[in-house]
Amino acid sequence: MFAYTVRRLLHSIPVLILASLVVFILMQYAGDPLARLRLNPHVTPQDIERLEKEMGLDKPLWARYARWSGDFVRGDWGESMSHHRPVLELIVERMKNTLQLMSAALLFTFILAIPIGIYSAVRQYSKFDYAATFFSFLGFSMPIFWFGLILQMILGYYLTRALGFQLFYTASMYSVGKEYDLINRLQHLALPTITLSLAYIAGWSRYQRSSMLEVIRADYLRTAHAKGLSESKVILKHALRNALIPVITVIMLDMPALFGGAVITEYIFAWPGIGRLLHYGILNGDYFLVMGIVMVSAFLVIFFNLLADILYGFLDPRIAYK
């Protein structure tokens, strides 16, 4: 297992280099990073020339990439032109908030999706199964931004009017003066968590149902039933472990997508995370900031693919890594 993990990590290095090259080239041709400053009458041509030299824009493409990649590896990800702060410092600061939202959404999704998928498979074609299928298709087809706005209107506005007090908040991470109030934090976290979890609950529950249906018809489960094992033990101990293998693949591959989905959710709920930072960087042509966030996304894709392969070995002893 250790040798396999090391080999996969070594194979990931060329992939990261290629991803960085693609990102860098695309950003170079996406537009002039100094376009806004060139239109500013208070910025002189001498200032523009000085900034071009500082950012390496006066050098050929290969030289700019070599300089940027070398600085990137050393932890110097450049300075944000819109925030006037180091990019790495901004990303680390906002990443904490995004991880808080993603962790809550992941936990909420896992707690609901896996049991729904298991019960739908065990009680196939029951009323619960039909209802779960209906809501899964509904979750697949509903746009995140629309669902978030509906939650804000129903649970943030109309429910507040009906109750006479604020139960759920529709913006920011906490109320002013309540930075350390856990209840207040959870009230702000609830709506973006539900919004971000919607499509993943629908997807993961369907994958779990499909995988469980394949497993519960296997011969070894019939043998387990013949031995007199209880239904719950057969399902939870023997069937679930093998049924989770394809679901783990989906979950690990969805993790970077969950990170990307936070862009829309954070914007709607004014959540000060990495997604909102990326949106702000794109609008302002802050390409050092955008490149840093995109490289973090590329790293997450590679990391979670590796994590999925490692988890296979723990879930299925038949898988051997050499």
Q: What is the pLDDT of residue 260?
A: 66
Give residue 168's pLDDT.
92
The confidence score (pLDDT) of residue 116 equals 94
Q: Which residues contact 219 (CB under 8 A, 6 or more apart)?
A: none
Give residues with Cβ within 8 angstroms of 256, minimum separation 6: 297, 300, 301, 304
Judge contact between 148 and 269, C-beta under 8 A.
yes
pLDDT (tens digit, 9 = 90+) per residue, 65-104? Answer: 888 888 888 888 888 878 888 899 999 988 888 888 988 9
* Residue 86 DSSP SS3: strand
* pLDDT attached to residue 251: 82
Cα(42)–Cα(53) distance, rounded to whole angstroms?
19
Res 319: pLDDT: 62
Position 322 scores a pLDDT of 58
Find the length of the chain.
322
DSSP state of 78: -
Q: What parts of the chain have a pLDDT lower than 50?
A: none
CA 185 distance to own-chain centroid: 20
